């Protein structure tokens, strides 16, 4: 696990955007795994900027998002589909048919999950997988206790995630309880390079356990220790409990 400590959130965004840029420049038909949440918003801003200034072309890029709430239509203001179009897809030239986000309103949810998994496999995996991390150590919606062997599937959100995400819905009761998420095994097996972003003091404990704690399914991100190519980009607040930097 390669850990980069960024001075500020803006640096974190710039460093991660440069990693994505280098990848797409070297491989114009790169497959990008994308994440939602507050943390990657600045990365997406940078990518939009790079596209608009002519530095980056997304016309051959394919994307796969990590997860989506079950029961929300793609147009729902809090769906991850809407999030991705608002923050990235609407502003760049990635063709619609190359964008993949699990469909949380598909009545055949099991089929949706297996088709999603199969599509990532068929396309040959993911060049760069962007991840956030939950304060509880989750990656995607793989909550503490998730099976490390799990593939894309229906998951139940933990109480702490429901609380954390209530800020977007206005009221905790409105947060969906279920989601579709790529599994830990999906991420581990299909991603050639994982770039995990962490910002803010509330992530500090999770970052420390992920990087320096024992590998345990109770901290799903700790499983990433066994992946050969992980870059963690943390701002100083998120990195403050790491033991290595203070030694």
φ and ψ of 34, to 5 deg: -120, 155
**Of positions 9, 34, 37, 65, contacts ligand PGA by CB under 6 A:** 37
136 noted as active-site residue: yes
Does 88 bind ligand PGA (CB under 6 A)? Our answer is: no
Q: Which two tokens stand for residue 173?
A: 């009761």
> Strand, coil or helix: what is 129?
strand
Positive or negative: CA dihedral 227, 233, 238, 239 = positive
Q: How far apart are CA 35 and CA 151, in angstroms?
A: 17
Does 175 bind ligand PGA (CB under 6 A)? Our answer is: no
Given the residues 117, 127, 143, 235, the one annotated as active site: 143
Helix (H) or strand (E) holding 128: strand 126-131
Does 176 bind ligand PGA (CB under 6 A)? Our answer is: no
Q: How many residues bind ligand PGA (CB under 6 A)?
A: 6
By CB under 6 A, the residues from 106 to 135 that bind ligand PGA are 132-134
CB of 39 to ligand PGA, least distance (A): 3
Q: Which is nearer to ligand PGA, 31 or 198 (CB)?
A: 198
Q: Which residue has the tokens 């099976």?
A: 147
Q: Which is nearer to ligand PGA, 98 or 184 (CB)?
A: 184
Does 39 bind ligand PGA (CB under 6 A)? Our answer is: yes
Given the residues 81, 117, 127, 138, the one annotated as active site: 138
DSSP codes joined into one string, 10-29: HHHHHHHHHHHHHHHHH-TT
Q: Which is nearer to ligand PGA, 141 or 190 (CB)?
A: 141
> Strand, coil or helix: what is 195?
strand
Q: Which is nearer to ligand PGA, 8 or 25 (CB)?
A: 8
Q: Which is nearer to ligand PGA, 115 or 154 (CB)?
A: 154
Q: Which residues pair with 2 in a beta bridge?
A: 231
67 noted as active-site residue: yes
Does 137 bind ligand PGA (CB under 6 A)? Our answer is: no
Query: String of b and e for 22-55 (b: at least 16 CB within 10 Å)?
Result: ebbeeeeebbbbbbbbebbebbbbbbbebbeeee
List interacting residues with ligand PGA (CB under 6 A).
37-39, 132-134
């Amino acid at each position: 696990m390669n850990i980069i400590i960024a001075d500020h959130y803006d640096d974190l965004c710039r460093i991660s955007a440069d990693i994505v840029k280098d990848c797409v420049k070297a491989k114009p038909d790169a497959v990008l795994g994308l994440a939602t949440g507050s943390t990657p918003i600045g990365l997406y801003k940078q990518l939009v900027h790079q596209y608009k200034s002519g530095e980056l072309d997304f016309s051959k890029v394919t994307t796969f998002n990590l997860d989506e709430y079950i029961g929300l239509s793609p147009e729902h203001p809090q769906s991850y589909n809407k999030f991705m179009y608002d923050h990235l897809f609407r502003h760049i030239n990635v063709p619609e048919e190359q964008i993949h986000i699990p469909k949380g309103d598909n009545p055949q949810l099991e089929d949706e999950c297996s088709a999603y998994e199969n599509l990532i496999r068929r396309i040959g995996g993911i060049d760069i997988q962007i991840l956030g991390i939950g304060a509880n150590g989750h990656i995607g919606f793989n909550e503490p206790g998730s099976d490390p062997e799990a593939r894309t599937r229906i998951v139940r959100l933990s109480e702490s995630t429901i609380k954390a995400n209530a800020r977007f819905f206005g009221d905790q009761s409105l947060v969906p309880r279920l989601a579709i998420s790529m599994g830990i095994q999906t991420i581990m097996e299909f991603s050639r390079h994982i770039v995990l972003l962490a910002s803010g003091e509330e992530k500090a404990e999770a970052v420390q356990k992920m990087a320096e704690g024992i590998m345990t399914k109770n901290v799903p991100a700790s499983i990433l220790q066994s992946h050969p190519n992980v870059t963690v980009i943390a701002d100083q607040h998120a990195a403050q409990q790491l033991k290595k930097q203070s030694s």
